[in-house]
Structure formats: structure tokens, C-alpha cells
Amino acid sequence: MSQTAIITGGGSGLGQSTAKKLAEQGINIAVVDIDEEGGQETVEIVKQAGADATFIKADVSKEKEVKNYVDQTVEQFGSIDYFFNNAGISGSGQYFLDTDIEEIDKIVGINLLGALYGMHYVADVMVKNGGGSIVNTSSSAGVIGQDTVVTYSATKHGIVGMTKSMVAEYAKDGLCVNAIAPGPTETPMVKQYFDNNPQMKENAEQGILQKRLGTPEEVAELVTFLLTSNAGYVNGDVIRIDGGFTNTK
């Protein structure tokens, strides 16, 4: 029986690159995104790589839509073996006291509640089936403090706590849960943030010891390794992939 992965935020960036890598291993993909055009593009990429895929439109900040993408995946593919819990937004890049409450609510809803809802419903399926592997997307802002991203940083620190605590509760049931902490990476989300805050791009590149942004393909390699390889004894960890960005912080 073929294996299946759910990828949230699968319509672009890290999600799309990871979908392609997993598909090359013959893994079926449920592509979850609010962006239908991007999601369908990923479905075609997966099918061209030789695996099956379906697109499920969802706003992950809404619990019922999260439950629906999990239910639809099980109905279509029969199981959930892997979960890349990845959907997220960065925000406007304003200092915290200048940030609207509506923006704070939106970032927390998508980045943290969306990840918690996904974890709740996917892990329930996995535990009942004897286990599975999950990678959560945190950030360099989830392991250090950074200016202009206070709310985003709060949610990404929350992802770290969720990762570690899920392992404390469910590793004994076959659940493997890790988090990645990417530094600035060439994704549409990061590009939009830098377009809104040009000085931050220069600051980021200067702060990265390798003097360049990461690529989605590099992150996808790490996610694929954590999900599908013999890395099962790596559990509850937060792995930085940031070109040395947080190395001295």
C-alpha cells in the first residue's frame, strides 16, 4: 500500500518543494492550502514525479476546515503516514506596538492554532494506526528573539513547545515529531516580507554566516530526511537550517 503525506502550505515555497521530494519517493500527497492556484500547481508537480495527489482548500485557522482536510485524506488514501505541518504567514514587519490587533489575531490563528489543530487531528489518526512522522515548521525566530516579528516569533516559539511536548506524551505510541527552524529562505512569504521591509533583507544577509539566503530545496531535503528515512530515533528535536544565522546568538 502506498504511503501518504499531508502538507499544509503546500501551494508554494517549502511545502511545494517538499511535495516534489516526497513524490519522487512514490509518496502520495494531500496538498493543503488556501491558494487554489498554487495548490493545483503542486498537484501537477507531484503527478509528474510519479505519485498521486489531491488538493484540499483550507483555512487552517478554522478548526472544521482542518478536520475536513484530515478526513478527506484518510477517505481518499486510507492513511496518513507523514505530516509536514507547515502553513504560516509572517506579517507586515512593523514593530509590535504599531501592529494592529487584527494582524496579531491572524498570525496566531494561522501559525499556532492552525498547527495545533493539524497536530490534534493528524496525530489522532497516526496513534490509532500505530504511529507516524511529523515535521513542524518553526523558524530562526522560534529559537532566538528578532525585531519586527514579535507575534510571528511568539507563534514559532510555540511550535517548538508543541513539538517537544507531543513527544513527551506520544513517543511511546509510535509518534515521531520534530521541528525545523529555517533562517531567511527564498520563499514567496519571505520575498513579500523583504519587499515590505528592504532593510531587513540586507540585515539578514549580513547576519547569515554563509552570506546568502537558503533555498526551499535545501529545506525540503531536511524535511524529507526527517519524515521518511531511518531518522526515527531523532525525536522531539528542533533542527536549525539557517546558514549559521543563529549560530552566535
Q: Which residues are catalytic?
A: 152
Neighbouring residues of 125: CB distance < 8 A, sequence distance ≥ 6: 70, 74, 79, 80, 132
How far apart are alpha carbons 143 and 147 in whole angstroms?
13
135 neighbors 227 (Cβ within 8 angstroms): yes
The Cα-based distances of 127 to 25, 29, 96, 134, 235 in angstroms read 23, 20, 39, 12, 15
How far apart are alpha carbons 201 and 221 in whole angstroms?
24
How far apart are alpha carbons 153 and 135 in whole angstroms?
18
How buried is 57 (Cβ within 10 angstroms: 0-12 exposed, 13-18 middle, 19+ buried)? middle
All cell numbers assigned to 3: 504511503
How far apart are alpha carbons 204 and 96 in whole angstroms?
19
Local structure of 24: helix, strand or coil: coil
Local structure of 129: helix, strand or coil: coil
All cell numbers assigned to 190: 519571505
